[in-house]
Amino acid sequence: MAAEPRALTGKVIAITGGARGIGKATALALVRKGARVAIGDLDRELAEQTAAELGDETLALELDVTRRESFEGFLDQVEERLGSLDVLVNNAGIMPLGPFVDEDDLTARRLVDINVHGVMFGMKLAIPRMQRRGSGHIVNLASAAGKGGFPGGATYCGTKHFVVGVSEAVRAELRDTAIEISVVMPAVVNTELGSGLPETRGIKRVEPEDVAEAIVGALGRPKFDVWVPRESVAVNKLMQLLPRNAREGIARLLKADKVLAEPDTAVRASYEERAAHSEPALEDASADRTEAASTK
């Protein structure tokens, strides 16, 4: 008989990028399980609106995951107001698309700062807190793109490969502790980030609630690899058994090579605009450099 899943009632769970999309769906699912949830987001106003919708004293805090001091302040407030941190869900991320050679350096830096450093800061700040209390669980949102390379999203794929790799390495470092690591690899999700992407054959598009359900499941019965949808596990395993030419041929057959390369740019326009201004510090630095150059 399978063991009962771990209860989440009363657990203190912090979610980055929690004001919308997967983060919001995950927060709702956890609140329904009785967890004490804090959502951190760059958009403080939207975070507060989301927290009000979720109820049950959900905490909304401003968070810039690219700044270590902001992340540390976020976790400090979570623990001060809700109690010791049990779970951190590193969900914040962006996905601007376009040909690799056309990608400007600010976009690349923004991708790395949010998708890579945001995850690193979260892990480096949360793990010592969990070590002191002897338990904890970190959930890192990667992507199916973290297991393959998809044209049109080269840098994004690279950042998600990092999330998978760092999660595997840190899991090994923590093997003899009671701290769990999970890495979540969704296919295309019906969120603003996934807007305008074409369908692929064989792998269905999923809802943010599907990803939230998988995260709740991994917290109840800890597991490292969390694939959404589940059938993508079999596809990935099969692909790894094949030589490269065969894998690439199947990807073309499934139209997986078109997913990030041929989006509907009109549908994605509002998201791309928001993603382009998702790191204030980088925007400020760019403005400072422009002003300095104009005075020379």
* Percent of all residues in the chain with a pLDDT value above 90, rounded to a whole number: 78
Q: What is the pLDDT of residue 155?
A: 98
Q: What is the pLDDT of residue 295?
A: 40
* Residue spans of the chain under pLDDT 50: 289-296
Structure tokens at 78: 């979570």
The residues with which 228 forms a beta bridge, in sequence order, are: 186
Residue 295 maps to a domain: no
What's the CATH code of the domain at 101?
A: 3.40.50.720
The residues with which 59 forms a beta bridge, in sequence order, are: 38
How far is C-alpha 16 from the geometric centre of its chain's CA atoms?
8
Q: What is the pLDDT of residue 285?
A: 54
Q: pTM higher than 0.85, yes or no? A: yes
Q: What is the pLDDT of residue 239?
A: 79
Using an 8 Å Cβ cutoff, are 59 and 41 in contact?
Answer: no
Q: What amino acid positions are annotated as catalytic residues?
A: 156
Count of the separate structural domains present in the chain: 1
Residue 286 maps to a domain: yes
Residue 2 maps to a domain: no
Cα–Cα distances in Å, from 34 out to 29, 77, 138, 275, 296? 9, 20, 18, 32, 59
Residue 141 maps to a domain: yes
Residue 245 maps to a domain: yes
Range of the domain at 198: 12-290
Q: What is the pLDDT of residue 290?
A: 43
Q: What is the pLDDT of residue 272?
A: 95
Residue 3 maps to a domain: no
Q: What is the pLDDT of residue 289?
A: 45
Residue 232 maps to a domain: yes
Exposed, middle or buried by CB within 10 Å (0-12, 13-18, 19+), for 205? middle
Residue 284 maps to a domain: yes
Q: What is the pLDDT of residue 296?
A: 43
Q: What is the pLDDT of residue 211?
A: 98
